[in-house]
Amino acid sequence: MLPNGHGLKLKVDIEKDLASLQRNSNVQIGDLGENDRNLVRSLAIIEIAALLDLYGLVPTRRRKPNRKKGKDNVVFGAPLCTLLELDRRRCPGLKVPLIFQWILHHLHSNGLREEGLMRLAGSVQKVQILKAEIERSYTTSPTLVENLIRQSSIHDVSVILKQLVRHLPEPLLTNSHMDSFLQVPNIPNVQDQINTLNLLVLALPDSHRELLQELLYFLAKVVEEEDANRMSLGNVAMIIAPNLFPPPRLKKGNHKQNDIAAEVTVAAMSSKVTQLLIKYGSFLGAVPPELLAQARLQNRRSSNKHAKRMGRKQKGDKQKNLKDDFLSNGGSVIRVQMSSLRHPNSIAVPVTDKTTAGEVVEKVAEALDQLIDPRHHTFVSTDQQENRAFLQRPRTTSEPIVMRHRCLMGTKKIAETLKDHYLYFIRENVGERRLDHNITIHNIIGSGSGRFASGTTWEIRCHH
């Protein structure tokens, strides 16, 4: 046990080390929206690489820990996301699985001053019974499981907690970031150690970060009661580290001894990292202002791009939406060409069983009215550069302006349009036919939207 006043000294050291972090970071990542969290996570990974590179540190690729998967395990060995998905059916919005909440609450309420907490092993037989009952009843009788945990001894429950963390398929610190965590003690600057730890916590998935913060809060409380439970920061870190940093598989072959030596080194480093996590745990997860500003700037840019895309899509889909309305009411769609009007595109026109050829001409005229530049009576969507060059070329004052697109269909009144524009029906086996304005489209080839597109061409032609 450390001498009296150790807890006060530790608190002073923490406040000194975290002075700049507290001044600069007021926003926790859990308070941000999902988009901001995802961007902060991505930016944090970049910052981590930059900080480690600053000190010439390169995380090594460790092999995944050797875990035996249980058959149909509901709790032990289940991914955090699976546990959360299961628990959120009962408690929507849950951030930490219920099994961890029940255990941490029991240990915090009844065991902080228990001597040897987290160090002493419980009864092997009772732990096995409790573990089996949790697996059997967690989904069907969660209240029973909660009561069993409350009634179990502190040391038995602490063993269950360590096993739950140790047997996560994806380690709590994740395989992706575990090696970066292990590099933190090699950073000579204490402030950069804290900054790197904070960035690593920001980079964790939400479910892992939330559970880690709850666990670190509890472990810090254990250390605060060192006088009673005889569990110093070093003792707690040494006990918890193997669960946060599960040892990887050893290589097969003649170099097993070297691997064991390497794992001893990793064990020592993991204990140091765990001490740092417990010591500064309550301050980790704060978003640096520059990271937050950059994330929100990217979000605004992304929103602007999305708005522009949606604007273009809505403009392009205006005709499509109209077509869909007609189709839902039993109508059909024909595509009307206007090559004689020197317009390269076709226009989709929705028709019903009562639509006449004249009405099709009117709808095309209305559509063209939106495409024609009223200043020059030219189609905006075709040959813009050619028209502009033609209109702006040098000419004498007496030379008339001759337009490339002579047909002014979209600029006329409907009555004038119908006088000199007709819809033509063209089909390979019957040739072409000019349709009277009063004839209905369905009377030409019968009803059914599928038959409109089969070998049939619809075209509007000028007669002026």
Please, are residues 235 and 123 in contact by the beta-carbon 8 Å criterion? no
Instruction: Tell me how far apart the alpha carbons of residues 16 and 11 are, in angstroms, rounded to a whole number.
Output: 9
Tokens of 292: 């937050």
Q: Output DSSP code: residue 356.
A: B
Instruction: Tell me how far apart the alpha carbons of residues 156 and 134 are, in angstroms, rounded to a whole number.
Output: 13
Res. 299 pLDDT band, cuts 50 70 90: confident
Select the more confidently predicted residue: 153 or 260.
153
Select the more confidently predicted residue: 435 or 233.
233
The contacts of residue 451 (CB under 8 Å, 6+ apart) are 445
Side-chain half-sphere exposure of 38, counting CA atoms within 13 A: 5
List phi, psi (to 5°) of 457: -125, 135
Instruction: Tell me how far apart the alpha carbons of residues 400 and 391 are, in angstroms, rounded to a whole number.
Output: 11
Q: How would DSSP label each residue in 43-70?
A: HHHHHHHHHHHHTT-----PPPB--PPP
Instruction: Tell me how far apart the alpha carbons of residues 4 and 19 are, in angstroms, rounded to a whole number.
Output: 25
Select the more confidently predicted residue: 249 or 364.
364
21-40 tens-digit pLDDT:
544 556 889 888 888 899 89
Biggest distance spanned by C-alpha atoms of the chain: 109
Range of lowest pLDDT (26-35, 57-66, 209-218): 57-66
306-363 tens-digit pLDDT:
666 666 656 555 545 544 444 444 457 788 887 655 555 677 888 887 888 888 888 8
Q: What is the average pLDDT value for the chain, to the nearest integer? A: 77
Whether the per-residue pLDDT at 256 is higher than 60: the answer is no
97-116 tens-digit pLDDT:
999 999 999 999 999 999 99
Q: What is the pTM of this model?
A: 0.62
Q: Output DSSP code: residue 25.
A: -
